Amino acid sequence: MGDPGGIGPEIVVKALHSAEIRDICTPVVIGDSSVIKAALRLLKSPLTVRVIKTPKDSKPSKGTIEVVHVIPPTPTLEKGGLITAGKRGKGKKLPQKLLTGTGQQQKAAAPVSVT
């Protein structure tokens, strides 16, 4: 969904208003569903959120954004208030099972990012 504190959620919501996007793919957002709901309210969008467990559970319908609800770990604060990805600047990898719901590698038809 992009940067939850930036413009990512609003861009996702605006893109998923487009019939052109839904005609070429089955969009599933991976991220914090409350952030997508806040973006919907901010943009006064008529779309609603449907939380699903894995992308395989997707049953797209007009007017709905499907979200695999994932809350990223809270970043740690170092001296001076700088946000880091974890100890010594090394981020944590998310388990493959979380990303695909199966534990097996799957191909994506478009770029995928997890924040």
Q: What is the pLDDT of residues 3-21, one digit of tens each?
A: 766 668 899 899 998 888 8
- Give the pLDDT confidence of 73-115 residue by residue, as tens digits: 665 555 555 444 444 444 444 444 444 444 444 444 444 444 4
Note whether residue 82 is domain-resident: yes
CA 43 to chain centre: 17
Phi, psi (rounded to 5 degrees) for 15: -65, -40
List, for residues 42-63, the tens digit of each pLDDT value: 999 999 999 999 999 999 888 9
Q: With respect to residue 113, please indicate whether it lies within any of the assigned structural domains.
A: no
C-alpha 92/C-alpha 23 separation (Å) is: 35
68 with 96, same domain? no
Domain boundaries, position 98: 75-105
Burial of 56 from C-beta contacts in 10 A (0-12 / 13-18 / 19+): exposed
pLDDT given for residue 21 in this prediction: 87
Q: What global pTM score does this model have? A: 0.61
